[in-house]
Structure 1
């Protein structure tokens, strides 16, 4: 299986996870290919850091195909350098990532003029590869609504409308600036955002989207249980949103599943850090999809085939663990981390 959205930490965050540990846990779940995100410490926004990351991952000696996204800033020179790096090192550097809002790592380009500059520069460089996007419109966030004693309030602080408007903005600005590449919208948390993407797709825009296990299996009600530490960006949503996204997965409307695997220490979670370990959730989501009638071709698409198509990767076989093994493999993976946001789901 392919997991095209992970945060494997290491370096200045090695107390949260090392590359070797993350890759080993992924492989134990049947995930043998990952795309690492650039909001590491230090960030993957310049050549030498990217090269070091690739070397460090290779030296782990674990049988997982490792790729990474290069991060984008608001500097035209930096953007051009990252385009050149993708052209030189693809598929090890598989694409570019822009945070259209602040999240873990504070790499957000939150002003429309910054976002327009990115697309304009990419157009001028002739870049037609993938740009992955974290979409939450900063001006529509309400941090004052976040209650530190109730993680479910995170959904009030970062509401659905912020995601939907940001998705709409990126589609519009990219078109206005003549961007000819492929837009990938990460970790959708709302069916309304999917409607925006489907409308663009019907108009010929090169676009894809993904859903995480936590947004498909958990709701904001789960986040009320503080022991689950179920806080992430974008947040868990209502049961209505959750069930609609799950139905969209079953209906083949989503391009792929991505874990957004993002481990922290318990100390950091108590302090409000966003992100959860996600490899175990992929297996639980596969189990639930199978129980709800998902076909083998659909699961093949969601767990790697569509990723191969969009990124023009070699068409390797996608192996999915047997149904009878999914629960035990998921539990084993969860035991590798200091908490399990899916714990209550296992007990239902």
Structure 2
């Protein structure tokens, strides 16, 4: 395998200071790191001059939808993984709302074969909590764990029955599989398509109350305490959810959770009209919810940032919010948006954002990624922090462009993404 030397990069130290760093890559791993490694020029097959750009561990996203098999008109493992690479992600965890659903070892292995053939980044495929996502019949957790599954989830739909969730946690805990929960009590939906608040009233659209999410989290936290399961909450969006997760952590319950960039950056008040590119599940909430999410990140209640990259076709999103599917794409814009909205404004440090998008999500599931340590896989992202660019759908690697951030000017553009020492994405020109 060829050797690569990255010179003139900048890396964050523990004090949030940018320091000069060169990285020497051999056999897919970081072999040496430090200043003034130019003496290795003659031993390097490839030299990348970072010209002062930021070097980070490859980003880790524990929540993406790649739609293959079953919905390849929206996304494929190839286009989804390229989209991740363009955003600087090198490890992503793909949700199982597919067709066929990966609810057996055979179905899960079929997806793994596509990943092995087409993915340009590391893709970890979730299996499901129940058969077919919507049933109350549990999958074979022991067999799936032995096959290599790292966690189970019914993302896209909540587990509606407390008894099913209790039994799932009990069985998953026996084999050490985390339960990853999309928390949504469907009996409280009432046909809602956006947050139930001032904007839903203004637009005369049916709203989704906050308790739709938080009430199911409360149920599940008590079940996690009862069973000892590792319970991970997807895309937390309400102040009530943050409060009860904080209290559960203080009580010693094994709970972790994630938040999405769009819930940190936007609130219901940013929705301009009946525009389905602002429709996601959970919805954009009120300003006090947004503030609680930011506080939850800062105090450690929320463990990490995940995109919930959810591609849909332009046709599907060109209708009213009452008819369109939930979800927006996020892999290609997440780091730039977080840097622009929070680091440049002084609300978060750069180190905090990098940690929430690398080592923290890796730690949640015990994944061996998210660092730039010598000896670790050379999964690296290189960002040019100071050049402003416009979010342009023509530049997307994803098959879909459903996002409310089109046209926004952002900083922190990805220049290179390396996976196991190989360049898997590079900016043209």
Q: Give the TM-score band, short-chain normalised.
A: 0.7 to 0.9
Matches within 5 A, 1:213-224: 213-224=261-272
Shift of 1:209: 1.0
Cα distance in 2 for partners of 1:229, 1:134 equals 21
Cα distance in 2 for partners of 1:53, 1:326 equals 38
Shift of 1:338: 3.6
Cα distance in 2 for partners of 1:217, 1:22 equals 23
Cα distance in 2 for partners of 1:256, 1:57 equals 25
> Which deviates more from structure 2 when the two are superposed, residues 264-273 or residues 186-195?
264-273
Alignment CA distance shift 1:251-1:292 (3 Å): farther
3-state SS of paired residue (1:83): helix
Cα distance in 1 for partners of 2:283, 2:296 equals 18
Q: 1:198 is matched with which residue?
A: 246
Shift of 1:45: 1.1
- Taking structure 1 as the reference length, the TM-score comes to 0.84
- The answer to whether 1:292 aligns with 2:345 is yes
Matches within 5 A, 1:1-348: 1-60=59-118, 62=120, 64-73=121-130, 78-79=138-139, 81-89=140-148, 93-99=149-155, 103=156, 107-123=157-173, 126-143=174-191, 152=200, 157-176=207-226, 178=227, 180-227=228-275, 229-269=277-317, 270=319, 271-283=323-335, 284-293=337-346, 294-315=348-369, 316-317=371-372, 319=381, 321-324=383-386, 327=389, 332-333=395-396, 337-343=400-406, 346=409
C-alpha contact 2:260 2:305 (8 A) present in aligned 1: yes
Shift of 1:10: 2.5
Unaligned runs of 5+ in 2: 1-58, 373-379, 411-429
Alignment CA distance shift 1:98-1:335 (3 Å): closer
Shift of 1:228: 5.5
Higher share in strand: 2
Which of 1 and 2 has greater Rg?
A: 2
- Taking structure 2 as the reference length, the TM-score comes to 0.69
Shift of 1:146: 7.1
3-state SS of paired residue (2:279): coil
Deviations 1:154-180 (A, max 9, x none): 99532111211111000012323x2x2
C-alpha contact 2:305 2:356 (8 A) present in aligned 1: yes
C-alpha contact 1:19 1:60 (8 A) present in aligned 2: yes
Alignment CA distance shift 1:78-1:325 (3 Å): farther
Cα distance in 2 for partners of 1:97, 1:83 equals 15
Shift of 1:344: 6.4
Cα distance in 2 for partners of 1:145, 1:122 equals 32
Unaligned runs of 5+ in 1: none
Q: What RMSD, in angstroms, separates the aligned Cα atoms of the two structures?
A: 3.0
Higher share in helix: 1
